[in-house]
Amino acid sequence: MDDVDPRPARARRLPADVVRERMLSAARGVISQNGLTVGFAHLPMEEYIRLADVPRSSVYRLWSTREEFVADLIGEVFVHDRYAGGDDPEAQELMREVYDRHSDRLGTATGRRAVAWEMIRIGANANLANLRRSVDWSSYNALLACTFSMEEGPAREAVRATAKRIETMLTHRMQVFYQEMLDVFQGSLRPGFTTLQLAHLTAIVIDGLAHRSRLIDGDLDEVITAPGLTGEPVEWHLASWTIRSIVEGMLEPPADDEAAPNAISRAPLV
């Protein structure tokens, strides 16, 4: 009978770029399903090596430490995954529907302001609900939580740079959105206020409520009754009412109601 060597066959050596791509792809797949928790201890290098089907020795030639791998992985996760887009298509579509459905009210300052409040009432609630169930949003907030807990070094700086890039991108998109809303509804901010401040504050409200509602949803899910688009009482969630209050406090009062047949174009809303 032929002798059989019981030792496992030595893994074939792969090019470094193939090893890198397979490892990062395998790890991204795990995170997209389970999210990124606070701390990086749960990121199993050995499991990613198995999933990627690459030689262990090749991996550690590319990344001499776990921290180096984490830094590369974080950059990949937030470039290629869904959250990198930064958009909330569902909330945007709902706001567009409000705008189109009530276009007959856009000829006066009071009507435009009422439509804007209704868009906030509907859109903010949808945005909050989507964040609550988003794995990508959870991963991003875990990234923020970990950023300042890592040891000083190149890995920490790489992770911080990724977090700052994403935060800047998301804030800029919200700033552009608010400027377009001001243009479409012919509004202007009071002196001293900016769309950048508005973007920061409303993001803080939505993020804060989304975080805390996971623990104390009973309190934060309560609704208040306040005038809606037609002046009749409607339900407002805390998120939408708070954002409306912030926006209203920064806006100049609406001008006197005068028909403005040529003032409102069918401007696209982002």
pLDDT digits (tens, 9 = 90+) for 233-252: 999 999 999 999 999 999 99
Q: Buried (b) or exposed (e) across 167-183, using 16+ Cβ within 10 A? A: eeebeeebbebbbebbe
- CA 125, chain centre distance (Å): 15
Q: For 156, list phi and psi in degrees, rounded to 5.
A: -60, -40
Mean pLDDT of 87-103: 88
**Which pLDDT score is estimated for 202?**
92
Select the more confidently predicted residue: 19 or 41: 19
Q: What CA–CA distance (Å, rounded) separates 102 from 91?
A: 17
- Average pLDDT (206-216) is 84
Task: Let me know: does 83 contact 170? Beta carbons within 8 Å.
Answer: no
Q: In percent, how much of the chain has pLDDT > 90?
A: 38
Query: What are the counts of helices (DSSP H) followed by strands (DSSP E) for the chain?
Result: 11, 2
Q: Considering the chain, what is the average pLDDT of its residues?
A: 82
Does residue 266 carry a pLDDT above 60? no
Q: Which residue did the predictor score with more confidence, 139 or 205?
A: 205
Tell me if residue 186 falls in helix, strand or coil: coil
- Do 257 and 104 contact (CB within 8 A), yes or no? no
- For residue 194, the model assigns a pLDDT of 98
Burial track 236-247 (b if 16+ CB lie within 10 A, e otherwise):
bbbbbbbbbebb
Let me know: does 182 contact 188? Beta carbons within 8 Å. yes
Segment 91-97 mean pLDDT: 91
Percentage of residues in the chain having pLDDT higher than 70:
83
Which of the four pLDDT bands, split at 50, 70 and 90, describes residue 270?
very low
217 pLDDT exceeds 90?
A: no
Query: With bands split at pLDDT 50, 70 and 90, how would you rate the model's confidence at 41?
Result: low
Q: What is the mean pLDDT of residues 224-229?
A: 90
Residue 223 confidence (pLDDT): 86
pLDDT band (50, 70, 90) for residue 157: confident
Listed by start position, the domains of the chain span: 16-80, 86-250
The pLDDT tens digits of the residues spanning 8-38 come to 556 678 899 999 899 998 888 887 776 665 5
Count of C-beta atoms within a 10 Å radius of residue 215: 9
Residue 193 has pLDDT above 50, yes or no: yes
- The CATH classification number of 86-250 equals 1.10.357
Q: What is the helix (H) or strand (E) element at residue 223, kind and residue range?
A: strand 223-227
CA atoms within 13 A on the CB side of 71: 19
pTM strictly above 0.75: no
Count of beta carbons in the 10 Å neighbourhood of residue 16: 12
